[in-house]
Amino acid sequence: MARAYSNDLRQKLWEAHDRGEGSLRELAGRFGVSGPWAWKISAQQLRTGQTERVEQRYGPRSKVTGAVEGQLRSWILKQPDLTLAELPIGKLRAVSEVEPQQRLWERQRLPISIGRLWGVLRELRLPSKKVAPRPTEQDTPEARERRPAWREQVSQIDPGRLVFLDESGVTKEMTRR
């Protein structure tokens, strides 16, 4: 793929033309560039006053600013197991769940699709590991005290005598999505 000419070459071509060392066509041959490219550089210098290469930009500028990224980062770091469909509302509203696009619209007046939101979160390189739900009672001091005695009691049971039946009716559909 063709590469852009350096700003140094652009500057040298323009300075030589400015000193009157020849026409743009002659200078283009001397510097090993095409005549139309030399005319383009000359027109750019006359129009904008600069010969440096203008950075190419494809597509519109992103509306996801640093402030929006910071807000998303704080939501995710505060509660890492959030899904895209449930960013926290915090003090903004009293509702427990709102689509992230709606939240960003309310806070930043920024319409954003789920796909773009996912892309922004991926660019932020935040951990995407979700925390599996578990009972909080397991972490109480009483439970920690009773745990060794329970393990001792369970270790006395012969596993070959156990039969496991799943009659609880619990499915994965009961957990948060």
pLDDT tens, the chain, 177 aa long = 567 888 888 889 888 998 999 888 999 999 999 999 899 888 888 888 888 887 777 888 777 778 778 888 888 888 777 777 666 433 223 233 345 656 655 565 666 677 777 888 888 887 766 666 778 888 899 999 999 999 999 999 998 888 777 777 666 665 655
pTM over 0.85: no
Q: Residue 21 contacts by C-beta under 8 Å, 6 or more apart in sequence?
A: 27
Which whole-number Å values give the CA distances from 154 to 75, 142, 163, in the listed order? 42, 18, 15
Domain locations along the chain? 7-48, 66-123
